[in-house]
Chain A
Amino acid sequence: MVKKLIKYDFMSYLRILLPVQLIVIGVALINRIIQFFEPPLTKTGYGVDTGSSAIYNSIFVSSLVLYIISIAVCLLITVIISVVRFYRGMYSNEGYLNHTLPVTASQHIWAKLLTSMLFYLGSLFAVFISFMIITAGDLNIEIFKAGFYVLGKAFNSYGANIALYILEGVILLLLSVTAMYLKLYCCLSVGQLAKKRKILLAFGVFFGIYVVKQIIATVFIASAAVNYVFFESISEWISDNGIAFIHILLCGSIVFYAVLSLVYFLINKYLMSKKLNLA
């Protein structure tokens, strides 16, 4: 049943998000075509003139800005669509149908979450493809050469720790995206408790979570300033054990986001199963 949920969610997302991702790729293509008309470098007697065609520069920069905006819009739309799909599917009229299906609240959440994450990663992949297009040619090859060179140097310096860093980084990225979506779902789940202005309450909850996080961060920084001797000894340890510190930081962040995701998930599950309000 969950597979069918995922399948129909997937089709629904595809109808909206695929054109957006294709637009990003299209803008990258346009930018690359514009680069065909790049004026050649001319050498004067006093050094290299990098070519001062004002028309080309203005068109190129405009298309580049458009490209960057299209990436931002694509990622933003991906998140917005996921949130809207969740709200409509779970807490609006569609919810009457969805909650009659032989599926538990956890399975609903998992289905929505998996589809959202899939399309978020799909958007990132589309951005990657667009980057490959915009740098297509020599530049692309040189970028990969530079990347592999840096990786090779990192392996020489840090050995297998680099592979672990990459793995931990990937896990952290996935967990942070998961936590982001679950937080948004949590805000909507709390918001749906209200009789009126459900979306407004959801925004309020989102803002409240942000404020709480800021307060915790401020308290931490203040305590660091007060207990500077203790934190000085920590920073000394960090400078002596840099490699281990990065592992601790990454793994700590993974645990943090995992716990956060679990908390949000449990809140979502509880509200969806015990406090559902479709009125």
Chain B
Amino acid sequence: MKKIFRSTAVILAVVLIAFSLCSCRNLDSMREHQAFYNSVDKSEILLGGNIYKAVNNGNRELMFTNSFDYSYYVTTKDVPVLLSNLEGDNLDVNEDLTVIKKNIYNYAKWYVREDVYDKYMAALTEAALDRYFLSYDEYLDSGRVEFRVFQRNILLDEETAEAINKLLSIPDKDKVSYKELSDGDYAHRIIYLQKCDKDMLVTNGSSEVSVINDNGKFYVCSGRTYDEESILCPVSDTEKELISKLFEDYPDSVDTYNFKYNFEPDPSYGKYHDNDVPYKAPATENSADNNTV
């Protein structure tokens, strides 16, 4: 009996030591996706051997193309890897691993890799936001059941950016009202642009420019306001070719709906989506088709 116990113990010990040389792929993956705070005040993060420093982005946002490697977490150095997703803060990491966005409730803290830190700081503080980019969603089948959606950003060339800036700077008397646009639910094809710097490192996230194609007539509109007067900048013949090329080259970024609904109620919803206020549809030729209250 003692021999059996002794030999069992020896075999088990040998086996356990042999197995200690092996790793587990999911564990390796978790280790790759665990970042550590490199300073007490959490202004530095260590990930994959690189140090990322916190930036104060002010009113600007860093351009961010999500890597869709969702499971990054940052913890203090004493937290074991198996508990990183419970104890740590969730991180989004840029596709080229230069920017980290730490999600904290309703705001984000940004970190930039040390070797490109100066470049990003210069873009955040000094760079002029005189260029534009557009976004579109890329749908992919990664071989599994679900599709992965990637947001791609395309920087427009300097010539197009200059044309748009020139159009937006026309005097108010040359602008037209939104009422010039056609009617119909899907009447307009629209591309949304956002401002960025020339290297597409930073953007002013809140400011949006709409480029509208209304049956071959093109307009540019800066931001969204409910001022019905002088909102649309008509595209002249000199810029028409550049602007129309946007719709040809980037069909995936085109949105189709009635731009007038930003200023007028959508007939299918009601004014301001307020059910207590009875909606009265504007009079049209076929009054019998109106939904009147």
Contacts and interface: CB of A to CB of B under 8 A. Distances in A.
Interface of A: 22, 25, 29, 32, 35-36, 38-41, 44, 46-52, 129, 132-133, 136-143, 145-146, 149-150
A35 B22 contact: yes
A12 B81 CA distance: 45
A47 B69 contact: yes
A40 B67 CA distance: 20
B142 A137 contact: no
Nearest to A153: B87
Contacts of B79: 149
Interface in B1-55: 8, 12, 15-16, 19-29
A38 B25 contact: yes
Interface residues of B, number: 31
A146 B84 CA distance: 10
B148 interface: yes
B173 interface: no
B143 A142 contact: no
B25 A29 contact: no
A137 B78 contact: no
B245 interface: no
Given A138-B27, A149-B79, A52 B19 contact: no
A129 B16 CA distance: 10
B80 interface: yes
9 contacts: A25-B12, A41-B29, A44-B142, A47-B67, A48-B29, A50-B26, A138-B24, A142-B27, A146-B80
Given A133-B15, A149-B83, A47 B142 contact: yes
A41 B20 contact: no
A145 B75 CA distance: 15
A35 B21 CA distance: 13
Given A137-B24, A149-B79, A32 B140 contact: no
A39 B29 CA distance: 13
Given A38-B24, A46-B68, A48-B69, 18 more contacts: A22-B8, A32-B19, A35-B24, A36-B22, A38-B25, A46-B140, A47-B67, A49-B142, A49-B143, A50-B29, A52-B143, A133-B12, A133-B16, A136-B20, A137-B20, A137-B22, A138-B22, A146-B80
Contact of A146 (B20, B23, B82): B82
Contacts of A139: 23-24, 27
B148 A145 contact: no
A145 B16 contact: no
Contacts of B15: 29, 133, 136
Given A47-B69, A150-B83, A40 B25 contact: yes
From DSSP, what is the main secondary structure of chain A's interface residues?
Answer: helix
Nearest to B67: A47
A47 B78 CA distance: 27
A43 B203 CA distance: 30
Interface of B: 8, 12, 15-16, 19-29, 67-70, 78-83, 140, 142-144, 148, 150
Contacts of A146: 80, 82-83
Contacts of A40: 25
A126 B148 CA distance: 44
Contacts of B19: 32, 133, 136-137
Contacts of B144: 52
A29 to B, nearest CB: 7
B82 A143 contact: yes
A145 B80 contact: yes
B157 to A, nearest CB: 26
A46 B148 CA distance: 8
Contacts of A137: 19-24
Contacts of B150: 46
Given A46-B140, A137-B19, A142 B29 contact: no
B27 A136 contact: no
Contacts of A136: 15-16, 19-20, 22
A218 to B, nearest CB: 37
Contacts of A140: 20
A141 B22 CA distance: 12
A142 B81 contact: yes
Nearest to B148: A46
A35 B70 CA distance: 25
Contacts of A44: 142
A141 B150 CA distance: 37
Nearest to B71: A48
A133 B18 CA distance: 11
A45 to B, nearest CB: 9
B142 A46 contact: yes
A51 B25 contact: yes
Given A46-B142, A138-B22, A132 B27 contact: no
